[in-house]
Structure 1
Amino acid sequence: MVKSFTEDAASSSVASNGNSSQPPTSLSASLTEATALISAGKPDDAVPLLASLQERISTSALFSSNESLEDVATSSLPPLAVEFHLASAVMSLRTSSSVGRRSNVVRSSELFHAFLRTLDDLGDILGPDLAKDYRVVLDEEADGNGGDSDAPATRGPPRRSAPENRDAKIARFRARKAAEEERARLSALRERRGRMGLDDEEELDGHDMEGVNRSLAIADLRRMAAEALDEIRSGAREMEMLEMAVQMEQMRAVEGRYRPSGQGGDTPHVGPSPPGRRPPHPQNGRGMQVTRVTQDPVTGQLQLKKEEIKSQVFRPGWNQPTMSLAEYGDREVTQAIEREARQKVAEEENKGKPRRYEQLVRDGMEDDANLVDASAKLDRDWDDWKDENPRGSGNKMADKGDRNF
């Protein structure tokens, strides 16, 4: 039986402080603090705390490779996820170059593998689907590394087809969803026990307090295992792009080192040429060079055609928004208010204009004598116009007048 998490917290703290009179720092409290820092978006503060926690757990020999899941105490299950949290924090670190990002991706992948390896050794946590997926990941990376398991994790040739990868991704999603639902059910069960005031030894729905806490910890580990497999897959795809980005940065660094400061790329340089590159031809052997210079219509600054094209290399191929959603909403509200005001003004202007008597009755203005007289004149004029212009009179070679009029 391995040591429990609580017992190891005191022993490792005493060993690190060298003085048993100092208050011990709980490992569970450190783990809770680190996860809170990750949730708050502070991975820079969480990484050293989790690294120290990982070293303390390794020094205290909290886990043994020949132990099974039944041999691990319930209080010792949460620290199994230290590598997972550390890998997540490292993956969230910000870097200023592709080399730094590649280093973080490699380190996080190794930590995810360490986390999954520990769960796989204990058994009964990953489940058949996640365990099978993890075996495929190991085989792919072993093929990519030439069979060297100690080499940095890289993406090997795919051993599964696209439908198989899709099925594996669906299986990971279902495993994560099932673990989340199980955790929600157990959390509700623990709250019920608290409301009912049951002792830890009393059972509710077949679980005592120890069983509820243990099942909760296992559900969390199973959810993290599914997320770790997803992160390993996405990290392998990101590594392919990072390798190309690193090569481009190295090429730019070499070109900048052998290029005179303050000079363009077409100016001949003095000194040895970089290895593997031909020396540039002299300027007088290439004839006249044409440089196109344009002027920005907005700022009035002069622009080189080369610089203009260079600035648009990574420009999106679709039209970008010219305003934010808030600005667009404010404009729509302003236009709606203006339309409403214009409509009210038009209604007020048309209110005193003559119109058909039926419209006066509909608007409730049949008592206005002047408006009724003007409307009657409008009706008479309309009737006179219809008499002078019978329906169908404008049709060529047709009978004059309307037979049904």
Structure 2
Amino acid sequence: MEEQPKTLRGLFTEAEAKRQEIELSWNSNSATFQENLSAAIATYEECLKVADQVSLFSLNETLDDVSSGDLQYMPINYYLAELILKITGGDRKSYLQRARASYERFLRLLDLHGILSKADARLLEKYLDSRDSFSTASATDAAARRETKISRFKGEKELKRKLEYLRRNPAALENDDSALRQLQLTNITLCVHQTYQSLESIAQELQILALAPPAPPPDLSQDPGDSRQRDDRGLDGYSERLDAPMSRLSGPGPILSSDGKPLRPFTLLDSRQRLQQGVFRPDHNLPTMTIDEYLEEEKRRGGIIGGGGEQSGIRPEPDEDNFEKADAETVKARAWDEFKEDNPKGSGNTLNRG
């Protein structure tokens, strides 16, 4: 028995459940998260195909012509763009451009049906005039930019509060079409508010990526398996070596281009051996000799005087029983005192006196 094709309501319900599960996940870099992300993106894309096949939204319709139940399908492109921005790895620039295209389709759909407010319609015109430098606030006036950011933050907070209030009683929404319509329109307004913030972030990130140097082309002549064996790495990239080979320490790719321009920072060294020796060196100078070796060297150079005597500066202990030496020391001290009395300090300097 062949599987019956899913309806738009069934696909959308399945996609919403996957999106809510992704929003509750915390590890966005895990393989399971990326698999669930890819599945949710594929489901939303299937929703868009079904909506296009049944011509869900006509170009000649206005907001009043769209039923309250169909309003929930208008933000599909917005949900798709939000999920695409969560993809990690691969070509980041292509993901940003893909998400930006989904945001644009979402805004154009609302604009065709007259759902955008006057302020949001003016922002859309501003965005279409300068996609690569789009900003929701003034880029030159800091005060005006701050006021705009504060105003948009308060507006977003109010929309979230109102949306939470409308969602508290889902049973009443099923029986009250006006309440259901108000809920869907509030959700769309919040999505528009966050869309312009995402478009501003995408423009800034694309500008940063444009300044990055181009990635070097892969070397197709080298077998990846051989390089892993030479580096002692397994299939998972793990290696028991503590010192990486020179090819990995110096960075991938060539240093200079064909016309002699540097492609990445490098340092000129006298030899490859010097680079290897400097990898695990401490950041301070180590002693080159022990303390005993230093003292021996100072003795050899005459920096240390040993053996006592007058040169050592050590006065011998006086012998109290040697009266002749004591008398000689006394006479010498008296003579020195008499000399200082006869020749006061400074008396010999007579050259610079007035």
TM-score normalised by length of structure 1: 0.50
Matched, 1:303 2:279: yes
SS in 2 for 1:253: coil
Aligned pairs (5 A) from 1:7-22: none
Percent identical pairs in the alignment equals 22
Counterpart Cα distance in 2 of 1:290 and 1:179 = 63
What's the CA shift for 1:28? 2.2
**TM-align CA RMSD:** 3.9
Pair 1:28–1:135, CA change in 2 (3 A): same
Among candidates 72, 79, 84, match of residue 85 of structure 1 = 79
Task: Please report how far the alpha carbon of residue 91 of structure 1 lies from its aligned counterpart in structure 2 after TM superposition.
Answer: 0.8
Offset of residue 274 of structure 1 = 5.9
Write the deviation string for residues 22-67 of structure 1: whole angstroms up to 9, x where unpaired. 6552312211221222232231111111111112212222112222
**What's 1:130 paired with?**
120
The change in CA–CA distance for 1:31 and 1:165 in structure 2 (over 3 A counts) is: farther
Query: Match for 2:274: what amino acid?
Result: R
In structure 1, what is the equivalent of residue 7 of structure 2?
Answer: 26
Name 2:193's counterpart in structure 1.
Answer: 226
Deviations for 1:251-300, whole angstroms, at most 9, x for unmatched residues? Answer: x337x6899x99759x9xxxxx9643479xxxxxx9954742566xxxxx
Structure with the largest fraction of helix: 1
Show the counterpart of 1:276: 259
Alignment coverage as a number of residue pairs: 237
- Residue of structure 1 equivalent to 2:156: 176
Alignment partners' CA distance in 1, 2:106 and 2:139: 24
Describe how 1:5-404 pairs up with structure 2 within 5 A: 23=4, 25-41=6-22, 42-96=36-90, 100-123=91-114, 125-141=115-131, 154-155=132-133, 160-161=139-140, 162-188=142-168, 190-191=170-171, 193=172, 200=175, 209-245=176-212, 247-248=213-214, 250=215, 252-253=216-217, 275-277=258-260, 289=271, 291-293=273-275, 303=279
Label 1:78 to 1:278 Cα distance change in 2 as closer, same or farther (>3 A).
closer
Shifted more, 215-224 versus 180-189: the winner is 180-189
| Structure with the greater alpha carbon radius of gyration | 2
Q: Distance in 1 between matches of 2:199 and 2:269?
A: 54
Unaligned residue ranges in structure 2 (runs of 5+): 23-35, 231-245, 251-255, 263-267, 284-354
Q: 3-state DSSP class of the match of 1:178?
A: helix
| 2:57 partner amino acid | F
Query: 2:42 & 2:274 partners in 1: Cα distance?
Result: 53
Hey, what's the Cα distance between the residues in 2 that align with 1:257 and 1:164? Answer: 53
Q: Distance in 2 between matches of 1:180 and 1:278?
A: 53
